[in-house]
Amino acid sequence: FSDLVEEAWLSARALKDYSENIFNPTVRLGVTGLSRAGKTVFITALVHGLSRGGRFPIFESMSTGRIAKARLAPQPDDAVPRFGYEGFLATLMEQRDWPSSTVDISELRLVIDYQRKNGAERTLTLDIVDYPGEWLLDLPLLNKSYEKWAAESLALSRQDPRRRVAVDWHAHLATLDPNGRENEQETLTAARLFTTYLRDCRNEQFAMSLLPPGRFLMPGNLAGSPALTFAPLDVPEGGTAPERSLWAMMVRRYEAYKDVVVRPFFRDHFARLDRQIVLADALSAFNAGPEALQDLEAALAGILDCFRVGRASMLSTMFRPRIDRILFAATKADHLHHSSHDRLEAILRKLVERAMQRAEFAGATVDVVALAAVRATREAQVQRGRDRLPSIVGTPIKGEMADGEIFDGETEVATFPGDLPTNLQGLFKGEDTFRGLAAGRHEDADFRFLRFRPPRLDNRDPDGPALPHIRLDRALQFLIGDQLQ
Ligand code: GDP
């Protein structure tokens, strides 16, 4: 019966969305990516570029002057936090610091007044929805039993390099009897150790794909609740939990997690998106080596899987995801010389194609781009012996180190960005791992990217400074260009 009520309620809302859309064309754009991928910076730069008018030659409606004005408006959903645009922009432009990252869902509405190609005046409403990629990777749980999820999570945790950080959790798991009586203390300990394992995987940079549950790392207001207090047990995939057993308790909470966390996210947010951009810090993955790259590919396949979830798990076909365009973007391309941007894009394209085959994905149009939402560096030629080498110049963040020097946050340095490998197979085998190079340290094989401060801006422009970017206009053209014809 409750399914029927839900279905009726969803039908009513879908109808409301639909009728609003007729009078007031609206695009709901989802912006996601794993933690630190660059979501907050991307949305801030995009909104600023649209409302101020950025240098966007490839974003046709803006470069030809058909966009008259883009302005912020109150958002439609009262229960979703607002994206803190003004504060983030001030941090970027005035303090030259990066804003604080996404930890929860948030939303912002932008209204764009434009002229159609045939001259008619029109308005497009753009609702931008920012949410952690960790939540997206939860969607496949909707079609998965506790036993299957536990088996998969365990199998993965027994492989290197995850196994190394799973030691404490595995030791505790070995003391548990799934068929024994349910026990809150055992469950609390198991959940705590399992969460520590997930966090360590993420911190070690080798588990970008992070098996769900995503809220264990981004709990929001559910921290400590039973729906977030469970962990995998070593139980047979086709088995049934005895009543009042530890196993049964885990199953109950896993199902609660799906009910109170995953399903509402799917229904209230994901299923209502029209377009989606998925940001990935691919450079860091190349830098970290073949396991990180495999993880990235698995994460991409997992994300593509999400776009099919609705079909199998929702009652009505009306609520399958309606996303018809997905853009995968490699962020922070300003760490590379422009001669490498195409190569970065080509590597990401290969990764996405492989992931599409893995996920047997069909449906939405998919594209890839390498971009920097905010370009923190500029390019220069630096004389080194007889050679003039292409380099990038930026202000490293205070406290960053290279060559034993600790930067003060004010001094500019020139660095030689590494060459991206041409061969994906080589990357996967670890033969050809990409290494950026710090100033003057060609041989250093273990360089982590220098992080730069946001750029110093040109204040002479009467419209106020624009934020420099790389290929943000290409992203915009793909995501909403067709809606502004
Ligand atoms: P989120 O967790 O996905 O919201 O990630 P953020 O947008 O907060 O970005 C995480 C960090 O990545 C920032 O603090 C910056 O250090 C860096 N970053 C993000 N976008 C860019 C970019 O376009 N250029 C550069 N150089 N760094 C970026």
pLDDT of residue 446: 39
| DSSP characters over 46-88 | HHHIIIII---TTSHHHHTT-EEEEEEE--S-TTSPBP-HHHH
Do 193 and 76 share a structural domain?
A: no
Q: Tell me, yes or no, whether 165 and 180 share the same domain.
A: yes
pLDDT digits (tens, 9 = 90+) for 457-474: 988 888 899 999 999 999
Query: Which of 259, 278, 299 marks a domain boundary?
Result: 259
Chain-centre distance for alpha carbon 378: 26
Encoded tokens for 392: 């990038």
pLDDT at 210: 61
Task: Give the count of beta carbons closer than 10 Å to the beta carbon of residue 31.
Answer: 28
Cβ atoms of 467 and 113 within 8 Å: the answer is: no
**Judgement on whether residues 163 and 188 belong to the same structural domain of the protein:** yes
The torsion angles phi and psi of 325, rounded to 5 degrees, stand at -140, 130
| CA 1 from centroid of its chain's CA atoms | 36
Q: What pLDDT does 121 receive?
A: 95
Tens of pLDDT, residue by residue, the chain (485 residues): 677 787 787 778 777 777 777 778 999 999 999 888 999 999 999 999 999 998 999 999 999 999 999 999 999 889 999 999 999 999 999 999 999 998 889 999 999 999 999 999 999 999 999 999 888 888 888 889 999 999 999 998 998 888 999 999 999 999 999 999 999 999 999 999 999 999 888 776 554 566 689 899 888 778 889 999 999 999 999 899 999 999 999 999 999 999 999 999 988 898 889 999 999 988 877 777 777 778 788 888 888 878 765 444 444 444 555 788 999 999 999 998 888 899 889 989 988 988 888 777 777 899 999 999 999 999 988 887 888 888 899 999 998 887 778 899 999 988 877 667 666 776 676 655 554 433 333 333 334 568 899 999 988 888 899 999 999 999 999 999 999 99
Does residue 209 share a domain with residue 350?
no
My answer on whether 344 and 476 are in the same domain is yes
Check whether residue 110 and residue 55 sit in a common domain. yes
Domain boundary among 230, 259, 288: 259
Atom of ligand 1 nearest to the CA of 133: 3
**Distance, CA of 333 to CA of 375 (rounded, Å):** 8
pTM attached to this predicted model: 0.90
DSSP letters along 164-178, please?
HH-HHHHHHHTT--T
- Please indicate, yes or no, if residue 462 is contained in any of the structural domains: no
Asked if residue 458 is part of any domain, the answer here is no
**Please, which residues bridge with residue 245 across strands?**
181
Residues 277 and 322 in one domain: yes
* The last residue of a domain, from among 259, 281, 312: 259
Q: What is the pLDDT of residue 260?
A: 93
- Cross-strand bridge partners of residue 278: 32, 328
Interatomic CA distance for residues 467 and 448, integer angstroms: 26
Ligand 1 center to residue 443 CA distance, Å? 27
CA of 149 to the centre of ligand 1 (A): 32
Pocket test for ligand 1, best of 41, 42, 100, 378 (most atoms within 8 A of CB): 41
Could you tell me if residue 89 is inside a domain?
Answer: yes
Q: What is the whole-number distance in angstroms between the Cα of residue 411 and the centre of ligand 1?
A: 20
Q: Tell me, yes or no, whether 94 and 180 share the same domain.
A: no
Residue 221: the pLDDT is: 77
For residue 284, the model assigns a pLDDT of 78
Q: How many domains does the chain have?
A: 3
SS3 content of the chain, % helix, strand, coil (to 5): 45, 15, 40
Closest-CA residue, ligand 1 atom 28, reads 332
d(CA 224, CA 226): 7
Beta carbons within 8 Å of 330's beta carbon, 6+ residues apart: 280, 281, 282, 283, 344, 345, 348, 368, 369, 370, 371
On whether both 27 and 81 belong to a single domain, the answer is: yes
Predicted pLDDT of residue 71? 97
Residues 39 and 63 in one domain: yes
Question: Which of 32, 35, 36, when mutated, tests ligand 1's pocket best, judged by the most ligand atoms within 8 Å of its CB?
Answer: 36
Please tell me the residue having the least CA distance from ligand 1 atom 9.
38
Residues 273 and 417 in one domain: no
Pick left, alpha or beta for residue 218 (phi over 0 → left; psi -120 to 50 → alpha; otherwise beta).
Answer: beta
430 CB-contact burial (10 Å; exposed 0-12 / middle 13-18 / buried 19+)? exposed
CA angle 272, 261, 142 (to 5 degrees): 75
Nearest CA to ligand 1 atom 21: 332
Q: How many Å lie between the centroid of ligand 1 and the Cα of residue 95? A: 15
Q: Using DSSP bridges, classify how beta strands 325-330 and 365-370 pair: parallel, antiparallel or unpaired.
A: parallel
Q: Which two tokens stand for residue 316?
A: 């009505």
ipTM for the assembly? 0.99
| 464 part of a folded domain | no
- Whether 165 and 178 share a structural domain: yes
Judge whether 12 lies within some domain.
Answer: yes
Domain membership flag for residue 72: yes
**What is the extent of the structural domain holding 190?**
147-259
Helix, strand or coil, per DSSP, at residue 373? coil
On whether residue 141 sits in a domain, the answer given is: no
What is the C-alpha separation between 398 and 453, in angstroms, rounded? 8
Q: Is residue 138 part of a domain?
A: no
Q: Residue 66 belongs to a domain with what CATH number?
A: 3.40.50.300
Phi, psi of 128 (to 5 degrees): -100, 125
AA identity, residue 450: L
Q: Which atom of ligand 1 is nearest to the CA of 470?
A: 23
Q: List, chain by chain if needed, residues with CB within 6 Å of any ligand 1 atom.
A: 33, 35-41, 98, 101-102, 331-332, 334, 372-374, 376, 451-452
Pocket test for ligand 1, best of 332, 375, 470 (most atoms within 8 A of CB): 332
Question: Closest ligand 1 atom to the C-alpha of 102?
Answer: 4
Token couple for 442: 């060609």
- How much is the pLDDT for 160? 81
